[in-house]
Amino acid sequence: MTKVIGITGGIATGKSTVSNFLKENGYQLIDADEMVHELQEPEQSLYNAIKENFGPAFFNDDKSINRQKLSDFVFSNPENLAKLSEIQNRVINEELENRRNQAVAFDQKNNGGNGIIFMDIPLLFEGNFTYFDEVWLVYVPFEIQLKRLMARNDLSDEQARSRIESQMSIEEKKLLTDKIIDNSASIENTKEQIKKLLKGSGENF
């Protein structure tokens, strides 16, 4: 039977490192962030929902969403963030389930249902997504998360803390997950942890 594994973490914990390694090794991986960008294209479902609920002020002249302006707006007020999260969860949940079902059908047809499908969902716990046989958490301690986010996005300490604290804490996620990948050290160390988890799932590595 096809196994579905959810991958999550916190902002700047390094999920993309894990997801890229899995894709490079031939695994089917559904990336929620990539999917959201697709759904935010003009006249797609999430685009229309954002326009309807937040108005035209957050769109560029070419009709694309001004993501920076929208991000600054929602992170400035918890109510705005909650509203956007509710809209996104409703639209994204349906599309993720559709893509999961398509991936499972593909695996059953081409691999006899013996494969593993990964779903990279940053807000997996916050969104109450429940499509998984197992959840892997990409973890780093808060202080490392803060430093990486400040460096990656050129943010002040206050701005970075605001973004991190808008999500469920990484320590709380540790209590809810099945497997933990500690991404505090080198990329090679992280890859070795992934290989060990794959072997534990019956994969050859």
Interacting residues of 160 by C-beta distance below 8 A, sequence separation 6+: 146, 149, 150, 153
User: Is 23 known to sit in a ligand binding site?
Assistant: no
pTM of the full predicted structure? 0.83
pLDDT tens sequence across 96-109: 999 999 999 999 99
User: Is 177 known to sit in a ligand binding site?
Assistant: no
168 touches 125 (CB < 8 A)? yes
Beta-carbon neighbour count of residue 201 at 10 Å?
13
Read off the pLDDT band of 146 (50, 70, 90). Answer: very high
Read off the pLDDT band of 79 (50, 70, 90). Answer: very high
User: Is 115 known to sit in a ligand binding site?
Assistant: no
DSSP classification of residue 176: H
Would you state the pLDDT for residue 205?
65
User: Is 8 known to sit in a ligand binding site?
Assistant: no
Show the domains of the chain with their CATH numbers. 3-200 (3.40.50.300)
User: Is 17 known to sit in a ligand binding site?
Assistant: yes
Tokens of 13: 């914990």
190 touches 14 (CB < 8 A)? yes
pLDDT tens sequence across 150-183: 999 999 999 999 999 988 999 999 999 999 999 9
Beta-carbon neighbour count of residue 175 at 10 Å?
9
User: Is 6 known to sit in a ligand binding site?
Assistant: no
